[in-house]
Structure 1
Amino acid sequence: MRNTAKITTAALAVGALTFGLTACGSDDSSASSDTSGPLVVAASPTPHAEILDYVKDHLAKKAGLDLEVKEFQDYIVPNTATEDGSVDANYFQNQPYLDDFNKKRGTHIVPVVTVHLEPLGLYSHKVKSVDALKTGATVALPNDTVNEARALKLLAGKGLITLKDGVGTEATPQDIAANPKKLTFKEVEAAQTARSLDDVDAAVVNGNYAISSGLKPATDALVLESAKNSPYGNFLAVKEGNQKDPRVVKLARLLTSPEVKKFIETKYQGSVIASF
């Protein structure tokens, strides 16, 4: 039986407050030295927690790893909880997102090993193709810095918009140079993009939220991000200084094992792609 704790942002308010009170006095080298207990990993429910649960149920015991998985519905608390030691590691994010998070929040989270890619996709309940989007259609975008820029680049790659020259990983709708269909953009939390599909003409949805909402990226997306040379691989991450924790080293090895690769290929059928 799975032993996965489901944690919401509200339920972790106390932990977040603790982080806020201690962050000012935190030392970059103040990584935890206690490696005797279970390794507690924060993860998005799909596919991250599912992959970790596979490791927990099929590989961890033989490797001598006591693994505990905690599910989070948002993209904020997993990092703040890792920073303040409420959890030992997290698995939910990519490098551009982490770089932006560390810069803005003063955290010290570092990647350990990249495991998979979830292609970002454009979805719709109202049209069957990009060409069918009408002039003035409303498109929902994730509102965090990295994923919004990523979404706009996806649309630009399909010719729906043109971005200004030199726009990087912080692009917003204000950086659109041309918008021939006069699309209107609705910025919402990443977790709400799939839920907004009945209220908008189309939405750009992160792979994990697409899957958890019953969408199949490989077949349902009107446009799907290419996995080739993508900087958006999702990785196991820890607070700086904890990379050599023997429990983390074991989990990193298991997450990039042939068994996990086969699990990802079989379960997700191209909607999640192993990066190793």
Structure 2
Amino acid sequence: MKKLFTLFALLLSFVLVLAACGKDKDSSKALSTKEIEVGVTGGPHEQVMQKVAEVAKKDGLTIKIKVFNDYNTPNTALADGDLDINSYQTKQFLDAVKADKDYKISEVFKTLTFPMGIYSKSVKSLDEIKKGDKIAVPNDPSNEYRALKLFEAAGLIKLKEGTGEKATKRDVVENKLNLEILELDSAQLPSQLGEVAAAAINTNFAMGAGLTIKKDAIFHEEAENNPYSNYLVVRDANKNDEVVKKLKEYYQNDEVKQFIQETFNGSIVPSW
């Protein structure tokens, strides 16, 4: 019994230590002005943040970059205190996640605009899509609505009037070609192109698969005046931190802007 009691006491101490660590991570203290950790999705967001880190380093700030391959984990990590900042999402996506998860996180400044495109391995134009073909859209909040709106703009489907950011394929009211709409994970869409006639893919995942808006998309959003700007996001308690204000200066810097323009050649544009 004495051994069992000792073991229980040790386990209880361990749990209390973990709880204390979690409490520290969730504190509302200001972010460090010397070193921060920023979460991004792999691809363009990662590339641009690396350039921002170069600019920030000259001014004495170290930016550690953590790369994610999905759209959900970076917000969870930020809300839980495992990241200081993340940079990868549109305000529409963020608002949908906050409404669903009640995360206390907010956008602070614009970063990049990624026009969404429709891609295909089997057809070269929308006119070649046939009755009964399969098309694919992202299955996450706001991105599915955005993709459905893109297929609507392409003339293939029609959404019911008043449909908002939480729209799914169930909100399609006109589908003359009787297309089968598949809702798939955003990151998996490029690998599924061989299984569908066409898919609406976010630019960062498209580029990760070697696809570009200008050369490969059979239809796409315009880059200019695109309502889907991406934002840098922090916990609500850190919105006015000094390092966040400095990070905006580093990100919206002429050197970074030139890097974006030269690297992505119009497929991705600065949002500011």
Q: 1:121 aligned to 117, 126, 136, which one?
A: 117
Q: Return the offset for 1:274.
A: 0.9
Q: What is the aligned partner in structure 2 of residue 6 from structure 1?
A: none
The answer to whether residue 48 in structure 2 is matched with residue 51 in structure 1 is yes
The answer to whether residue 195 in structure 2 is matched with residue 195 in structure 1 is no
Q: Return the offset for 1:199.
A: 1.3
Q: What is the aligned partner in structure 2 of residue 83 from structure 1?
A: 79
Q: Return the offset for 1:64.
A: 2.1
Q: Return the offset for 1:258.
A: 1.1
Secondary structure in 1 matching 2:267: coil
Q: In 1, Cα distance between the equivalents of 2:133 and 2:59? A: 52
Q: In 1, Cα distance between the equivalents of 2:174 and 2:33? A: 57
**Aligned amino acid, residue 39 of structure 1:** I
Deviations 1:226-263 (A, max 9, x none): 23433311111100021222222221111111111111
Q: In 2, Cα distance between the equivalents of 1:175 and 1:196? A: 23
Unaligned residue ranges in structure 1 (runs of 5+): 1-17
**Aligned amino acid, residue 201 of structure 1:** A
Q: 1:97 aligned to 93, 98, 101, which one?
A: 93
Q: In 1, Cα distance between the equivalents of 2:210 and 2:56? A: 29
Q: What is the aligned partner in structure 1 of residue 164 from structure 2?
A: 168
Q: In 2, Cα distance between the equivalents of 1:238 and 1:123? A: 33
Q: 1:210 aligned to 193, 206, 209, which one?
A: 206
Would you say the 8 A contact 1:63–1:250 is kept in 2?
no
Secondary structure in 1 matching 2:163: coil
Indicate the structure (1 or 2) with the bigger Cα radius of gyration. 2
Q: In 2, Cα distance between the equivalents of 1:78 and 1:85? A: 11
Q: In 2, Cα distance between the equivalents of 1:195 and 1:240? A: 36
Unaligned residue ranges in structure 2 (runs of 5+): 1-17
Q: In 2, Cα distance between the equivalents of 1:36 and 1:121? A: 38
Would you say the 8 A contact 1:163–1:176 is kept in 2?
yes
Q: In 2, Cα distance between the equivalents of 1:42 and 1:184? A: 35
Would you say the 8 A contact 1:123–1:220 is kept in 2?
yes
Secondary structure in 1 matching 2:237: coil
Would you say the 8 A contact 1:135–1:181 is kept in 2?
yes
The answer to whether residue 266 in structure 2 is matched with residue 270 in structure 1 is yes
Aligned length: 252
Q: What is the aligned partner in structure 1 of residue 28 from structure 2?
A: 31
Q: In 1, Cα distance between the equivalents of 2:57 and 2:171? A: 50
Would you say the 8 A contact 1:65–1:251 is kept in 2?
no
Would the alpha carbon gap of residues 214 and 129 (structure 1) be closer, same or farther in structure 2, given more than 3 Å must change? same
Deviations 1:131-168 (A, max 9, x none): 11111110111001211111000011111111111111
Would you say the 8 A contact 1:46–1:209 is kept in 2?
yes
Q: In 2, Cα distance between the equivalents of 1:126 and 1:147? A: 23
- Give the RMSD, CA atoms, in angstroms: 1.9
Identity of aligned residues (%): 38
